[in-house]
Chain A
Amino acid sequence: MIIPHPLLGPRDAQEFTYLGDASLMARPDPYSESAEAEFCNYVYLRDNPAGIHRELWFHEQGDRSWLIITRDTLTHEILGAELVSADKLKAGL
């Protein structure tokens, strides 16, 4: 696969390490009343869609940026790629 790196342009997927669902960025509040249940969901429960999937890729043999890639798991078509940091900025973090 080719990953369209938002800063560096198209790069071969071999330069990257795949992590998984981008929901891993949303770590639950450890001080919440139901923290244990929320962490249980966070750690173990993930959607596995046949279709559009937002996921985390790490440019390990590159600029060491974490990216959010939007990929169609049925066709491998990549519909979007952005830096995690840009996404966090958008979210006001």
Chain B
Amino acid sequence: MTDLTPLTALRDRDPRSARFGAVTLSEKSDLSLASLYIGAGRTKPHPFGLDLPDIGKISNAKDHSAFWVGPNQWMIERKSPSECDFAAEVKAQAPETAVTEQSDGFVCLELEAPEDAMTALLAKLINLDPHSLTPDTAVHTGLDHMTVFVLRRSVTRLDFIGMRSYADSLWHALATAAARMNNLDT
């Protein structure tokens, strides 16, 4: 193990978390990510036993999940502990594909809220009908001039995966929306 100390995307030793009434916002720093790309017309592999999901969907296996990114393109995730050469593991599972390490390319902010609050929050954040974001739906869209993946893990849980360099701005956007909903300061 290296003797360098890593920082989270929000530039701290430990992931950040905050509570706004019934809404919890927390940084998830234990995620491993790699993008997987198959050439047009090739058959889909099954890395880690995953069925690579259809358009706009998430599929889950034991410790891994995958979400659709674009035609012939997915992001493979592994829950903790986070590693920075996850790509090698994915490549071993799907050798015929193009795999790119993305663990450090993104920040993942998790929003937990009751269903009604989640719907109200989404209306302040992204220009998509919240009712179309059913559990196991993944979309890529704009949020405050940034680009984000929005993953509906469950009715009460959403992950916003944005570019790592925008971590502070993404936190600001989500925290502001959550705070305003509760008439609180960020």
A residues touching B (Cβ–Cβ < 8 Å)? Answer: 7-8, 11-12, 14-15, 60-65, 83, 85
Given the known A-B contacts A8-B55, A8-B56, are A61 and B71 also in contact in the complex, defined by CB atoms under 8 Å? no
Q: A61-B140, A62-B140 are in contact. List 14 more A-B contacts (CB 8 A).
A: A7-B71, A8-B55, A8-B56, A8-B139, A12-B127, A14-B142, A15-B141, A63-B69, A63-B71, A63-B73, A63-B140, A65-B70, A83-B71, A85-B71
Q: How far is the CB of B87 from chain A (nearest CB, A)?
A: 20
Q: How far is the CB of B125 from chain A (nearest CB, A)?
A: 13
Chain B interface SS verdict (over half): strand
How long is the Cα–Cα vector from A16 to B141 in the complex, in angstroms?
Answer: 10
Q: 8 pairs across A/B with beta carbons < 8 Å? A: A7-B55, A7-B71, A11-B141, A12-B127, A15-B142, A61-B142, A61-B147, A63-B71
What residues of chain A lie closer than 8 Å to B127, measured between beta carbons?
A: 12, 14-15
Within 8 A of A (CB), among B90-145: 127-128, 139-142
How long is the Cα–Cα vector from A63 to B66 in the complex, in angstroms?
Answer: 15
What residues of chain B lie closer than 8 Å to A65, measured between beta carbons?
A: 70-71
Q: How far is the CB of A63 from chain B (nearest CB, A)?
A: 4
Q: How far is the CB of A8 from chain B (nearest CB, A)?
A: 6
Q: How many residues of B contact A (CB 8 A)?
A: 14
In contact, A61 and B141 (Cβ under 8 angstroms): yes
Which residue of chain A has the shortest Cβ distance to B148 in the bound complex? Answer: A61
How long is the Cα–Cα vector from A65 to B56 in the complex, in angstroms?
Answer: 14
What residues of chain B lie closer than 8 Å to A64, measured between beta carbons?
A: 70
Which residue of chain B has the shortest Cβ distance to A64 in the bound complex? Answer: B70
How long is the Cα–Cα vector from A85 to B127 in the complex, in angstroms?
Answer: 27
| Interface: B40 (CB within 8 A) | yes
Which residue of chain B has the shortest Cβ distance to A86 in the bound complex? Answer: B71
